[in-house]
Amino acid sequence: MYFVTSLRDTVAAEMEREKMGLPLLIGGATTIAYKVTSTDMRKTLRVGATINGQARFSATLGKVIAIWSRDAKLTVGAPAKLSTLLGSPSTGARSIRLLSGNCSIRNLTVVAFTPGTCRIKVSIAAKSPFPALAMTFDVSTN
């Protein structure tokens, strides 16, 4: 029988984990899928499973960030909305700026003029419970 649990490591959990060798359980996160929350920001997550009465834990999955780029490519001449290029649970106002590359940005839409790479900076205004967020990323065009 499998029992899957999502786990969050915090400073307090790190100390407790050192004593007991276990990470902190996230209450109510006993499903196959776990949606991160603002509480998880800048924390590392683990997955634990109880298999035949024996607890097993994954390696850390990395720090949770509140803005990420999606695996998307631009097609030359075709507009792409910002929402297809990045994701974030924050509902703050978004702004986008072209740093380099042969692309155009207008009304949160990016258009590539030639094949290559465009470097874009995205900012999201602070809106509770998230702070102001920013990320620079490269988007490939073909």
CATH number at residue 74: 2.60.40
Sequence-distant (6+) residues with CB within 8 A of 30 are 3, 4, 5, 6
Give the structural domain span for 22: 2-57
Q: Are residues 33 and 86 in the same domain?
A: no
* Contact (CB, 8 A) for 88 and 68: yes
Structural domain contains residue 87 = yes
Hey, which residues does 124 pair with through a beta bridge? 94, 133
Q: Are residues 35 and 72 in the same domain?
A: no
Q: What is the pLDDT of residues 45-87, one digit of tens each?
A: 666 776 777 777 766 566 667 788 877 778 899 999 988 888 8
Q: Are residues 40 and 85 in the same domain?
A: no
Q: Are residues 31 and 75 in the same domain?
A: no
Query: Considering the entire predicted model, what is its pTM?
Result: 0.58
- Predicted local confidence at residue 4, as pLDDT: 43
